[in-house]
Amino acid sequence: MANDTLASLRVAPAKPFSLRQHDPGDTLGWNKEAAETELEAVKLRLDALQVRLFAEERRSVLLVLQAMDAAGKDGTIRNILSGLNPAGFHVTGFGVPGGPETQHDYLWRVHEMVPRKGVIGIFNRSHYEDVLVVRVKNFVPRSVWSKRFDHIRDFERMLGDEGTTVVKCFLYVSKDEQRERLQERVDDPEKRWKFRLGDLDDRTLWPKYQKAYEDAIGRTSTAAAPWYVVPADRNWVRNLAVAKILLHHLERLDPQLPEPEEGIEGVVVR
Ligand code: AMP
Ligand code: MG
C-alpha cells in the first residue's frame, strides 16, 4: 500500500495548515474496482489485529471522525465495521449537549466514552465540536473556545501516554457534493429523517466552518494524535482511506497475544 499516500493526508504538527492543499475530489491515484477489492483485504487485516488488541487488553485505539453534514461519517463507520466483530468496537455519536452534559466541562462526556483497553472506539463527532460549531455559532466567546486547543492537545497526549492511540480524520467533502447529498436527503423519504432545516444554516456558514476546521486541525495535529484530511466526495476513496489509516496505526501498535497459561501445551481435551 502506498504509505506515501497516507502520509500525504497526514497533517504535519506545528505548521500553518490550509485546506487548499487538499482536494475533496481526489482519488489518490486509486480506481474504484481495485479499491473495493483492497478494502476487503484491509478489513481482514483489521479483523485479525483487532482480535489481538482485544486479547492483549493493554491498549486501545480511538478514531475520531469529524466532518460537515453529509460527508459520510455514518457511512464510513457502517462500511468499515460491517463484517467485523462488533465486540471489539465501540461507536459513540455526540450531538447537542443535554442534561448533565451541560453541567460539566466539555471534555467530561467525551472522556467517559474513550474506549477501554482492548477496544477500538470510534467517535462520530467529538470534543472538536466545541471548537467548531460552538465557535462558528458563537455559543461561547472567543476567550473561552480559544483556550480549548491547548486543553485538547493535553487531553489527547494524556490518553496516548496512558495507552490510547488517538487518530483523527476530517472527511473533506466539497460544497457542491454536499448540496447533492442534502438534496437527496430531502427528496428520498428513506433519507429524510437525516435532514434538519438547521443543516442549511450550517451550509451558509461554510467559509466560517472551513476556517474553524483549519485552525482546529492545524493546532491539534500532533505526532502522537495526528489529523488526516480524507477526500470524501467519493465514498469508495473515503472508505478505503479511513480503513487504511486505522490499519496503519494498529500495525504500528503490533498487539501481541498473551502468553498462554502454563501447562496448557499437550493438554488433550476428552
Ligand atoms: P448529527 O451528527 O447530524 O446527528 O447532528 C449532531 C448535531 O449536534 C450537529 O449539528 C452538531 O454540530 C451538534 N453538536 C455536537 N456537539 C456539539 C456541541 N458540543 N455543542 C453544540 N452542538 C453540538
Ligand atoms: Mg446531521
Q: pLDDT tens, 68-106?
A: 999 999 999 999 999 999 999 999 999 999 999 999 999
The maximal CA–CA distance of the chain, rounded, in angstroms, is: 70
Ligand 1 contacts CB of residue 135 (under 6 A): no
Q: pLDDT tens, 126-163?
A: 999 999 999 999 999 999 999 999 999 999 999 999 99
Average pLDDT over residues 230-237: 98
**Side-chain-facing half-sphere of 151: CA atoms under 13 Å:** 15
Q: How far is the CA of 79 from the centre of ligand 2 (A)?
A: 18
Do 48 and 84 meet the contact criterion of CB atoms below 8 Å apart? no
Burial class (CB in 10 A: 0-12, 13-18, 19+), 59: middle
Partnered with residue 167 across adjacent β-strands are 63
Name the average pLDDT for the chain.
97
Q: Whose C-alpha lies nearest to ligand 1, atom 4? A: 95
Q: Whose C-alpha lies nearest to ligand 1, atom 9? A: 95
Give the separation between CA 88 and CA 261, rounded to whole angstroms: 23
Residue 8: all three cell numbers together: 500525504
Query: Which of 3.40.50.300, 3.30.750.210, 3.10.20.30, 3.40.640.10 would CATH assign to domain 3-253?
Result: 3.40.50.300
Question: What is residue 2's predicted lDDT score, i.e. its pLDDT?
Answer: 57
Ligand 1 contacts CB of residue 125 (under 6 A): yes
Percentage of the chain exceeding pLDDT 90: 96
Query: Which DSSP helix (H) or strand (E) runs through 199?
Result: helix 198-204
Partnered with residue 92 across adjacent β-strands are 123
Q: How far is the CA of 28 from the centre of ligand 2 (A)?
A: 27
Do 192 and 131 meet the contact criterion of CB atoms below 8 Å apart? no
Res 3 pLDDT > 90: no
**Under DSSP, is residue 88 helix (H, G, I), strand (E, B) or coil?**
helix
Measured from the Cβ of residue 243, the count of other Cβ atoms closer than 10 Å reads 22
* Beta strand spans in the chain (E): 60-67, 89-93, 120-124, 164-172, 227-231
Q: How far is the CA of 212 from the centre of ligand 2 (A)?
A: 18
Ligand 1 contacts CB of residue 107 (under 6 A): no
pLDDT confidence band for 1 (50 / 70 / 90): very low
Ligand 1 contacts CB of residue 148 (under 6 A): no
Closest ligand, as measured to the CA of 182:
2
Question: What is the sign of the dihedral through the CA atoms of 28, 33, 34 and 37?
Answer: positive
Q: pLDDT tens, 14-40?
A: 888 999 999 999 999 999 999 999 999
Nearest atom in ligand 1 to the alpha carbon of residue 194 is 3
Task: For residue 206, give the amino acid letter.
Answer: W
